[in-house]
Structure 1
């Protein structure tokens, strides 16, 4: 049986909750309406989570441009392909749903791409906030308080978008 570890930390976009196994981060949740998925559980830190905490604090302070903590993503083959493309994006880079669809060999599947992006279990570290509509508009965000959270992350990384 795999051990499960948990930490929380404050951030400019609300409290964050990270879950990990013995070797990798498995989820990151951004507070929504003051609630996190495992609020009732006690924190159980481990070395992976402590490293992630430090890296996230550095990211929010503008001192870290990329994450190097191990992440274990679990999903369908399609989701994994989309998330692998998200992992290729760097600080300040954006892509579109259409470009992601082409990159995973599914041109025209922008709506399915949106579903996969929205299901990303490790936002921020796997930068799903960096995905915009083809015309540069913000079409939504499933983390935290939604679009306001995405706006903050885009502004933090100085990523331009269309109004």
Structure 2
């Protein structure tokens, strides 16, 4: 088996693991930012909840339904952003967007970890919206939080 095929197999396994055993699935007790988003083209729906404390994402959880790509991406994203400063979470989202567009990206200070398994999605334009749904929800929630803080 070629290295490329081995990587594809490994990435598929990582995606399916997050789909079958999602991390951070559920709801946050108490106050949290809530963002509902959907992808009408394939029926993916997500509600992302985040608690932001002292400029950091203290907690992130999601509920929803959809394809393996959207739900595994939500699982990976919530894992990756927990504990990050809001600014870093938004930078990571930018890196992820570049990766989905097939652009060269530099991880910089970030270890993409399992998120890298989603890079193959860039080859399937119809699935990019699935992979980015949770990330767009995070950006929307953090932007709304920023707007409220500046009022």
- Scaled to the shorter chain, the TM-score interval is 0.3 to 0.5
Q: Which has the higher contact order (CA 8 A, sep 6+)?
A: 2
**By percentage of residues, which structure has more helix?**
2
TM-score by length of 2: 0.36
TM-score by length of 1: 0.34
**By percentage of residues, which structure has more strand?**
2
